[in-house]
């Protein structure tokens, strides 16, 4: 049980990942049943900016992983810290991109209640974005702890936040695939 890097933060994130996975699995099953059960499902073109956003999120995962490794070697590493800030910035860019995607849908006249396909699109993207906001808050918190440099080592917290952030990427890729296939 007790691995050498075990910490409550890591366990907490793993457990959180399980809960969030179940949350989106339930929504996916709802989508599949809702689509299969009625003839009112209208497909539409996904906003192309989603693919740019995906790229941004992939890069942010990379910067965070790189930052985490540098901080692991030297907790005071300035480049490690800079990479954390870069991840925060890229996270914000991702959210801005998602807002543009919603505006794109609105411009097409597709609102939450327009039809089930647009409803699930908004649901998936908004709920994912809320979880990303949670990740940004966690990253901001660990960035402050790293910047302060005092108190207990922030490395466990950085590792936990990084695990969550990578999961946000994996979750997004999954949701995008579901939307791409179904919407």
Partner 1 sequence: MADEVKGGADYPRETAQMVTALKHVPPQSFLRKHVFSLDHKVIGKQYLDLGLLAVTTGMVLSWIMRYHLAWPNGKLFWLGGGGIITPEYYLQLMTMHGTIMVFFVLTTAPFAGFGNFVLPLQVGAEDMAFPRFNMMSFWVTFVAFLVLVAAFFVPEGPALSGWTAYAPLSAVGSAAGPGQGMGQTLWAISIAIFCVGQLLGSLNFIATTLDLRTKGMTLARLPFVTWAWFITSVIGLIAFSVLLPACILLVLDRVAGTSFFIPGGLVISDAMQPHSGGSPLLWQHLFWFFGHPEVYIAILPGFGIISTIIPVFARKPLLGPKVLISCLVAIAFLSYTVWGHHMFLSGMNPLSATIFSVPTLIITIPATIVTLLWLGTIYGSKIRFTTSMLFCLGFVSVFISGGISGFFLAQPSIDSVLHATYFVVAHFHFVMGVAAMFGIFAGTYFWFPKMYGRMMNETLGKWHFALTFLGVYAIFMPMHYLGLAGNVRRYAAFTDDYMVSFQPVHKFITIAALFTGAVQLLFFINLYWSRRHGPVATDNPWEATSLEWSTSSPPPFDNFGGTHIVVHHGPDLYGVAGAKGDYVMQASAEPEPAPAFALKK
Q: What residues line the site for partner 1 (CB under 8 A)?
A: 1-2, 4-8, 11-12, 15-16, 18-20, 22-27, 29-30, 33-34, 37-41, 112-113, 116, 119, 123, 127, 152
Q: Considering just the CA atoms, what is the radius of gyration of the chain in Å?
A: 18
Question: Which residue, 38 or 181, has its beta carbon nearer to partner 1?
Answer: 38
Question: Which residue, 87 or 117, has its beta carbon nearer to partner 1?
Answer: 117
Nearest approach, Cβ of residue 175 and partner 1 (Å): 13
Question: Which residue, 33 or 58, has its beta carbon nearer to partner 1?
Answer: 33
Question: Which residue, 89 or 149, has its beta carbon nearer to partner 1?
Answer: 149
Nearest approach, Cβ of residue 119 and partner 1 (Å): 5
d(CA 68, CA 159): 7
Question: Which residue, 56 or 163, has its beta carbon nearer to partner 1?
Answer: 163
Give whole-number Cα distances, 46 to 104, 173, 177, in Å.
9, 14, 11
Tokens of 167: 């999961």
d(CA 35, CA 58): 30
Query: Side-chain half-sphere of 127: how many Cα atoms within 13 Å?
Result: 17
* 3-state SS string for 69-111: HHHHHCCCCHHHHHHHHHHHHHHHHHHHHHHHHHHHHHHCCCC
d(CA 179, CA 183): 5
Nearest approach, Cβ of residue 81 and partner 1 (Å): 22
Nearest approach, Cβ of residue 24 and partner 1 (Å): 8
d(CA 126, CA 118): 12
Nearest approach, Cβ of residue 55 and partner 1 (Å): 28
């Amino acid at each position: 049980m007790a691995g050498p890097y075990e910490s409550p933060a890591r366990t907490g994130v793993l457990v959180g990942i399980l809960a969030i996975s179940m949350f989106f699995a339930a929504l996916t099953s709802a989508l599949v049943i809702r689509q299969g059960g009625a003839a009112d499902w209208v497909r539409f073109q996904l906003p192309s900016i989603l693919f740019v956003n995906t790229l941004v999120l992939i890069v942010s995962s990379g910067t965070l992983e790189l930052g985490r490794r540098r901080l692991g070697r030297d907790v005071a590493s300035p480049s490690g810290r800079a990479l954390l800030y870069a991840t925060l910035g890229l996270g914000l860019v991702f959210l801005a991109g998602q807002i543009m995607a919603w505006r794109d849908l609105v411009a097409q006249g597709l609102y939450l209640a327009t039809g089930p396909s647009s409803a699930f699109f908004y649901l998936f993207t908004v709920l994912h974005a809320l979880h990303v906001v949670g990740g940004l808050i966690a990253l901001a918190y660990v960035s402050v702890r790293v910047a302060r440099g005092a108190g207990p080592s922030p490395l466990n917290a950085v590792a936990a936040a990084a695990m969550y952030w990578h999961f946000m990427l994996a979750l997004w890729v999954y949701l995008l695939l579901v939307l791409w296939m179904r919407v």
